[in-house]
């Protein structure tokens, strides 16, 4: 029997005990495994359709690949994925609450049937919002479409982000890869609630 499983179990027990003894220190600066780097957002001052919005610190037009991890009192926990090779979280803060729950988005192992690449890793796999809770990652529901992302979570368990509803965005130019309507979402108790958009914008 190797010591690694035992050491990992001791680490997990230490973190669980720290919840009851003292407020743990959740590092907002994520620890990214493999080759991920910090994500930035680029959007012009003139509103553009969702399908023309480009996110990311890119490498050859794609996000650098890897799996997101968080640091809890000096212990690093790889959050894993939803079946694909890559996952990510919001680099601007709010993705981890005081209870150590985290949100973000992850590839699955299912190719997107519409050829979209919402996660941005260049793999064409379905991208799902996730909640990491009690050392387990699970997918959050969309609004009927294939893809979505979760960006922030408060201590009440409310999660914000966006999700597709499955409808084609008529404002997208011909040939756009990401051409489904994406709406702002509030997740509460595992259910997705669409939020209103601004003005006549079909996306949010």
* Strand-pair category, 54-55 with 41-42: antiparallel
Residue 14, pLDDT above cutoff 60: no
Going by pLDDT thresholds of 50, 70 and 90, the confidence category of residue 109 is very high
Give per-residue pLDDT as tens, 116-174.
999 988 899 999 999 999 999 999 999 999 999 999 999 999 999 999 999 999 888 88
Task: Decide if pLDDT at 28 tops 70.
Answer: no
pLDDT at 196 over 60: yes
pTM for this prediction: 0.75
Which among 173, 131, 166, 137 is positioned nearest to 149, based on CA atoms? 131
pLDDT of residue 81: 95
User: Which pLDDT belongs to residue 52?
Assistant: 52
Q: Which of 28-37, 42-51, 66-75, 170-179 has the highest mean pLDDT?
A: 170-179
- Which helix (H) or strand (E) segment holds residue 20: the answer is helix 3-21
Mean pLDDT of the chain: 77
The pair phi, psi for residue 98, each rounded to 5°, is: -70, -15
pLDDT (tens digit per residue) in 81-91: 999 999 998 87
Say which range, 17-26, 105-114, 121-130, 155-164, has the weakest mean pLDDT: 17-26
Query: What residues contact residue 66 under an 8 Å CB cut-off, 6+ apart?
Result: 32, 33, 34, 35, 36, 86, 87
Please tell me whether residue 10 adopts helix, strand or coil conformation. Answer: helix
Confidence of residue 203 (pLDDT cuts 50, 70, 90): confident
pLDDT of residue 53: 52
Q: What pLDDT shows up at residue 63?
A: 58
């Amino acid at each position: 029997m190797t010591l690694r499983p035992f050491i990992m179990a001791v680490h997990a027990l230490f973190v669980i005990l720290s919840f009851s003894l003292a407020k743990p220190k959740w590092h907002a600066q994520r620890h990214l495994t493999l080759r991920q780097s910090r994500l930035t957002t680029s959007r012009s001052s003139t509103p553009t359709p969702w399908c023309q919005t480009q996110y990311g610190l890119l490498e050859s037009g794609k996000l650098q690949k890897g799996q997101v991890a968080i640091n809890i009192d000096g212990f690093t926990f790889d959050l894993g994925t939803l079946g694909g090779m890559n996952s990510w979280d919001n680099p601007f803060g709010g993705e981890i609450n005081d209870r150590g729950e985290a949100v973000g988005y992850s590839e699955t192992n299912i190719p997107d049937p519409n050829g979209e690449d919402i996660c941005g890793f260049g793999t064409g796999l379905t991208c799902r919002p996730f909640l990491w809770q009690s050392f387990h990652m699970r997918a959050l529901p969309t609004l009927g479409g294939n893809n979505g992302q979760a960006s922030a979570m408060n201590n009440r368990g409310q999660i914000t982000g966006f999700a597709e509803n499955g409808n084609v965005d008529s404002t997208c130019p011909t040939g756009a890869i990401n051409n489904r309507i994406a709406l702002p979402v509030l997740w509460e108790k595992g259910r997705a609630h669409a939020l209103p958009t601004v003005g006549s914008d079909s996306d949010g």
